Structure 1
Amino acid sequence: MKVKEYMIPVYALLIRAERRTIEDVPEVYQVPVAEHMAEQIEEN
């Protein structure tokens, strides 16, 4: 499965809304989504 960049913030939003956990997203997205969420935290 190829990572689609537009899905990274979508999965991050679902995790923040407690609709999904990081383990529920496809494996290829877990690291990019975690990095995206970490960047969001660092910006605040």
Structure 2
Amino acid sequence: MAAVKNYMIPVYAALIKREKRDIESLPEEYIVPVAEYLAAEVEGA
């Protein structure tokens, strides 16, 4: 299992928001961190 690189989380989140990637197409280890990142943005945290 590859280590999650924190700098990639906002990059993947931006791609998802711009509909360039689907969350299911991300590497498995990034799915949950990116989903949490996007949820935090929506909640305004």
After TM superposition, the score normalised by the length of structure 2 is 0.94
Size of the aligned set, in residue pairs, is 44
Structure 1's unaligned 5+ residue stretches are none
1:40 is aligned with what amino acid?
A: E
2:9 is aligned with what amino acid?
A: I
Sequence identity, in percent?
57
Structure 2's unaligned 5+ residue stretches are none
Write out the 4+ residue segments of structure 1 that deviate beyond 6 Å after TM superposition.
none
Alignment-derived partner of residue 2 in structure 1? 3
